[in-house]
Amino acid sequence: MTGTAKAARSAETRGATGYSRILGVGGYRPRTVVPNAELCGILDSSDEWIETRTGIRERRFASADETLDVMAVAGAQKALAQSGVDAADIDLVVLASMSNLLQTPPLAVRVAHAVGARRAAALDLSAACAGFCHALAVASDAIRAGSARHALVIGAERMTDIVERTDRGSAFLFADGAGAAVLAPADQPGVGPVVRRADGAYADALRMTAPWGGGERPWMRMDGRRIFRWAVEEVAPAAAEALRAAHVDPVRLGAFVPHQANLRIIELMAQRLGLGPDTVVAREVVHTGNTSAASIPLALETLLAEGRVRSGDTALLVGFGAGLNLAAQVVVLP
């Protein structure tokens, strides 16, 4: 059999259907809640400044035992339970993280093993705060092409490992957590076409100060003002493009679930998109801070748990961050 014929047979066996959809989402929030007041002394800041500039009132910081593995596994197990898919039937795990300090073995492989996805291929994806939407697109495309049938997509972060506690420009913003989604083949589109961009001209806007092993301990640094402007000017139009690609009218959109970077960015994007009066806007950032690649699945889990959205509603997801880098797509909620 030729290589092409083998590939065709494999896709047939796995059942390429043309579409994919999300069957379940789940998240893990660390135990320790940290209100703004606890950070003000060290940052020479105030509760009022942090809330006015970011919308954040509190966030969660992981304790030593709440490792990336522990949080990612817990989020994945909840997503699996909600989806009704047996872990043994997952054949692809894609995990996005920008704070995984143990580069090898891949975190996705460890998580796949721990949840019982023993037949799955597993890989890590590095796209910073845009990671979850990129991972979702990779998994969705694999299902649509027939190279995977059930996929587990995870965003997991311990931003407190890479953000310096004393950094006045970012320490109040970032936080820890993990979220996951389970994807399966579908007869109707459940994950819309992805709109993606990367702009290396902004590479220094959010970066580590040094590579690991160079003597100096690397920390993340961010030019917040520059990223803020880029998010409103470049990310909002890309999100609008994802709506058009999915043929969804912004006025009829069920929910807007952008990366939870800063409430002011979220409100400005929502305004620019011209969403309808009934479109639910995710504001998870108020209580969880910016959890990077974990923020979108955590926000989805909350909206579903609170009954603010219903199964079958459409939701516009858009992740953005270091690179600078973005990915957006419309999904149908499980």
Q: Tell me how far apart the alpha carbons of residues 116 and 134 are, in angstroms, rounded to a whole number.
A: 24
**CB 152 within 8 Å of CB 182:** yes
Q: Of 259, 262, 287, 325, which one is the catalytic site residue?
A: 259
Residue number of the CB atom closest to ligand UT7: 224
Query: Smallest distance, Å, CB 42 to ligand UT7?
Result: 10
Query: Smallest distance, Å, CB 41 to ligand UT7?
Result: 11
Q: Give contact residues for ligand UT7 (rule: CB under 6 A).
A: 43, 45, 49, 53-54, 129, 168-169, 172-173, 206, 222, 224-225, 227-228, 231, 261-262, 265, 290, 321
**Is 290 noted as a catalytic residue in this protein?**
yes
Q: Which is nearer to ligand UT7, 17 or 45 (CB)?
A: 45
**CB 106 within 8 Å of CB 134:** no
Query: Smallest distance, Å, CB 126 to ligand UT7?
Result: 14
Instruction: Choose among 28, 31, 21: nearest CA to 139.
Output: 21
Look up residue 217 and give its DSSP letter.
Answer: P
Q: Which is nearer to ligand UT7, 169 or 237 (CB)?
A: 169
Q: Which is nearer to ligand UT7, 41 or 214 (CB)?
A: 41
Q: Which is nearer to ligand UT7, 53 or 207 (CB)?
A: 53
**Is 129 noted as a catalytic residue in this protein?**
yes
Query: Smallest distance, Å, CB 47 to ligand UT7?
Result: 10
Q: Of 129, 134, 287, 325, which one is the catalytic site residue?
A: 129
Q: Tell me how far apart the alpha carbons of residues 50 and 73 are, in angstroms, rounded to a whole number.
A: 31
**Is 262 noted as a catalytic residue in this protein?**
no
Q: Tell me how far apart the alpha carbons of residues 260 and 56 are, in angstroms, rounded to a whole number.
A: 10
Q: Which is nearer to ligand UT7, 86 or 204 (CB)?
A: 204
Backbone angles phi and psi of 94, in degrees to 5: -120, 120
The CA-atom distances, in angstroms, between 25 and each of 91, 101, 109, 216, 299 are: 17, 25, 20, 39, 10
Burial 151-189 (b: 16+ CB within 10 A, else e): bbbbbbbbbbebbbeebeebbbbbbbbbbbbbbbbbeeb
Query: Smallest distance, Å, CB 227 to ligand UT7?
Result: 4
Q: Which residues are catalytic?
A: 129, 259, 290
